[in-house]
Amino acid sequence: MRLVIARCSVDYAGRLTAHLPEAVRLIMVKNDGCVAIHADGGAYKPLNWMNAPNTLVDHGEHWTVTNPKGETLTINLHEVISDVAHEFGEDPGLQKDGVEAHLQELLAASPHAIEDGLTLVRREYPTAIGPIDLVCRDTGGQVVAIEVKRRGEIDGVEQLGRYIERLHLDSSLGAVRGVFVAQVVKPQARVLAEARGFRVVEVDYDELRGMRPDELRLF
């Protein structure tokens, strides 16, 4: 990962236009090509970013980042304060806690507990940004991406959205819809999920654990 602290201004051009005026910021360039610009605040969310795959061209005083859709991110470097690179090596990925992992196993064995007619394509479906908990097909043959959480919060909804963006890069899959599954879904997460067009399902872990696979049902 390359980490650059610089006084910079940033311009995005694509579906809309956006401008970040000159200020000191952290620019992260990840090994997969993702570029993110962070301020010293605002938690984990960058001010602007360009997801992989994309092409970064370093012109010295400015960078141009372009994705396959033709969207561009132009980063003007007015003063570079620090520019370092670190090799992270292979990441083992997120290790889920026992309840969440077992919940995922139960639902993978009986996906109809989430929705009648679902059939499992793969558990831990690989993408460039991490594995999707469950990928299924519904009775109409549509691909369904499912994110499983013990507690459903906004971060999980955002994660599901990023996974669906990755799946849409594969035109052979067609339109992909999302389902957000948790034992408890916070109201803010439910509102965001439904605004994104995702279905929300709450399940009872204790009941699922105590049932035979053919007794699992939607709650």
Residue 201 bridge partners (DSSP):
181
Q: Tell me how far apart the terminal alpha carbons of the chain are, to the nearest angstrom.
A: 43
Query: What is the second-level CATH architecture of the domain 98-215?
Result: 3-Layer(aba) Sandwich (3.40)
Is the predicted pLDDT of residue 13 greater than 80, yes or no? yes
Between CA 135 and CA 47 the distance in angstroms is: 31
Between CA 116 and CA 70 the distance in angstroms is: 40
Quote the pLDDT of residue 212: 46
Between CA 103 and CA 149 the distance in angstroms is: 8
Q: Which of 58, 109, 111, 83 is closest to 6 using CA atoms?
A: 83
Between CA 32 and CA 68 the distance in angstroms is: 15
CA torsion 182-187-189-193 (nearest 10°) is 90
Instruction: List the domain boundaries for the chain.
Output: 2-85, 98-215
Hey, what CATH topology would domain 2-85 get? Answer: Protein Yojf; Chain: A; (2.70.180)
How would residue 15 be classed by pLDDT, with cut points 50, 70 and 90? confident
Alpha helices (H) along 74-186: 98-109, 154-167
24-43 pLDDT tens trace = 999 999 988 899 999 998 76
Quote the pLDDT of residue 144: 97
Between CA 167 and CA 87 the distance in angstroms is: 28
Beta strands in the chain (DSSP E): 2-13, 17-29, 35-38, 48-50, 55-58, 62-66, 72-85, 119-125, 132-137, 143-152, 176-185, 199-202
Q: What rounded mean pLDDT belongs to the chain?
A: 89
Backbone angles phi, psi at 64, to 5 degrees: -125, 120
CA separation, residue 133 to residues 62, 91, 123, 130 (Å): 39, 17, 6, 9
* Residue at token pair 């991406």: 145
Which of 44 and 112 is assigned the larger pLDDT? 112
State whether residue 148 is helix, strand or coil: strand
Q: Token digits for 203?
A: 């399940």
Quote the pLDDT of residue 204: 82
